[in-house]
């Protein structure tokens, strides 16, 4: 489900042309006079090295696209570059006929790479007369595949650091403003304090996310998931943590596999290589890797501070049953169930 490299096996693209328009190859150098702008009224276009040049798209369309994306360059990585290169044939087929024969000349990675994780903020600026409905629909489909709770201009690398290293779920829950506060916090301890300070809002977000579970093979877990949330809201954090962990492990085992298999599946070596279709559910399941870290008192290693399935189930200790770990547990409960539902929707038909 990950994207494919370009046809020539390389990700290299020309970077000298900000519009992404590449000149046609030329067999010989031209003089300075040859490169002068033609007289007004010349219908053939502007003479440049390689012969007659015509804009691939109308200038106002290019200006609209580049103007909308350029401010977002610091906020995004190269994840969508490969995705757009796989979409080029589809785009060529659906763009307005007057542009289709020249659309292949655009370096789409130049447009794709600056995109925000949440494109909805800039979509209105991209709407231009020269863009077809199908192209806009394609951009909207990409937007719809991004986690709905990621704030605008989120640091993609930092998001996955928090998910995979801190073990804090960030997909579907919590709400965008809390995610923004978590990303702004300096370390995991500070992030946990953000969560416990917003405990009521976090619990509300988890409840709403669980309300999206509709598959018959998952709804049977909802009564226990709801009980875990009820316990948390009532201040019974230890029971909430224990029940949340039990439900998460049950769902993951039935869907992905047992301990080692689940850890392997959850680990994301390079988030930028994730395909759009798998981004949300893979990111939702990624906290499982630290969640499954094993620990025994005989190991002489310090007990894990962050939520651990092994400690919660097999080595119950008051030092591990904390408000912070209980908060992460209910977030993991909601995020994993919702992520598993999306994974199953993509891989298996819903049972009757």
Give the burial string for 88-111 (b: 16+ CB within 10 Å, else e). beebeeebeeebeeebeebbbbbb
Report in angstroms the alpha-carbon separations of 287 from 81, 208, 264, 267. 26, 20, 12, 8
Are 115 and 80 contacting, i.e. CB atoms less than 8 angstroms apart?
yes
Number of C-alpha atoms within 13 angstroms, CB side, residue 248?
35
In this predicted model, what pLDDT tens digit does every residue of 131-164 receive, in sequence order? 556 556 656 666 677 899 998 778 889 999 999 9
**φ/ψ (deg, to 5) at 227:** -65, -40
pLDDT of residue 38: 44
Mean pLDDT over each residue of the chain, to the nearest integer: 75
Which of residues 328 and 29 earns the better pLDDT score? 328
Least confident of 34-38, 65-69, 173-177, 305-309: 34-38
What SS3 state is found at 9?
coil
Least confident of 33-42, 246-255, 306-315: 33-42
pLDDT at 233 over 50: yes
The set of residues, in sequence order, having a beta carbon less than 8 Å from that of 32 and lying 6+ positions away, is: none
Distance CA 291, CA 326 (A): 13
Number of C-alpha atoms within 13 angstroms, CB side, residue 30?
14
Number of C-alpha atoms within 13 angstroms, CB side, residue 167?
22
Q: Is the pTM of this model over 0.85?
A: no
pLDDT at 249 over 80: yes
pLDDT of residue 15: 41
Q: Where does the pLDDT of residue 24 fall: very low under 50, low under 70, confident under 90, or very high at 90 and above?
A: very low
Q: Which residues pair with 106 in a beta bridge?
A: 21
With 0-12 / 13-18 / 19 or more C-beta atoms within 10 angstroms meaning exposed / middle / buried, residue 10 is exposed
Q: Where does the pLDDT of residue 65 fall: very low under 50, low under 70, confident under 90, or very high at 90 and above?
A: low
Are 182 and 196 contacting, i.e. CB atoms less than 8 angstroms apart?
no
Sign of the torsion angle spanned by Cα atoms 90, 87, 138, 110: negative
What angle (nearest 5°) sits at the alpha carbon of residue 18, between those of residues 15 and 23?
A: 75
pLDDT of residue 232: 98
Distance CA 351, CA 299 (A): 44
Report in angstroms the alpha-carbon separations of 212 from 130, 197, 218, 248, 341. 38, 25, 11, 16, 9
Distance CA 23, CA 38 (A): 18
Omega prior to 174 cis, within 30 of 0: yes
| Stretch 226-241: mean pLDDT | 98
Are 287 and 327 contacting, i.e. CB atoms less than 8 angstroms apart?
no
The enclosing H or E element of 248 equals helix 237-255
In this predicted model, what pLDDT tens digit does every residue of 251-293 receive, in sequence order? 999 999 988 899 999 999 988 888 877 899 999 999 999 999 9
Residue that the structure tokens 């998460």 belong to? 248
pLDDT of residue 43: 42
Are 143 and 120 contacting, i.e. CB atoms less than 8 angstroms apart?
yes
């Amino acid at each position: 489900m990950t994207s494919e490299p370009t046809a020539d096996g390389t990700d290299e693209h020309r970077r000298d042309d900000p519009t992404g328009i590449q000149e046609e190859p030329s067999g010989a150098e031209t003089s300075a006079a040859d490169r002068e702008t033609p007289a007004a009224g010349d219908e053939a276009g502007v003479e440049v090295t390689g012969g007659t040049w015509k804009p691939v798209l109308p200038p106002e369309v290019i200006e609209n696209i580049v103007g909308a994306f350029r401010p977002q360059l610091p906020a995004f990585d190269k994840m969508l570059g490969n995705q757009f290169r796989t979409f080029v044939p589809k785009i060529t087929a659906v763009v307005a006929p007057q542009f289709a024969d020249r659309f292949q000349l655009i370096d789409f990675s130049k447009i794709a790479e600056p995109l925000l994780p949440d494109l909805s903020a800039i979509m209105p600026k991209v709407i231009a007369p020269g863009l077809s409905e199908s192209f806009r629909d394609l951009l909207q489909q990409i937007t719809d595949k991004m986690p709905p709770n990621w704030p605008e201009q989120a640091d993609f690398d930092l998001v996955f650091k928090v998910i995979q290293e801190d073990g804090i779920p960030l997909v579907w829950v919590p709400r965008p403003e809390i995610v923004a506060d978590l990303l702004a916090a300096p370390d995991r301890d500070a992030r946990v304090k953000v969560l416990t300070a917003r405990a009521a809002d976090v619990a509300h977000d988890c409840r709403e996310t669980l309300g999206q579970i509709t598959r018959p093979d998952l709804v049977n877990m909802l009564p226990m998931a709801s009980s875990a949330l009820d316990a948390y809201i009532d201040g019974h954090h230890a029971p909430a943590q224990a029940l949340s962990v039990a439900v998460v492990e049950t769902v993951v085992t039935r869907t992905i596999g047992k301990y080692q298999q689940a850890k392997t599946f959850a680990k994301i070596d390079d988030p930028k290589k994730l395909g759009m279709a798998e981004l949300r559910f893979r990111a939702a399941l990624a906290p499982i890797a630290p969640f499954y870290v094993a620990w025994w008192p005989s190991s002489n290693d310090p007990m894990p501070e962050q939520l651990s399935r092994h400690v919660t189930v097999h080595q119950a200790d008051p030092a591990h049953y904390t408000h912070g770990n209980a908060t992460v547990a209910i977030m993991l409960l909601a995020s994993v169930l919702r992520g598993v539902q999306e994974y199953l929707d993509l891989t298996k038909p819903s049972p009757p």
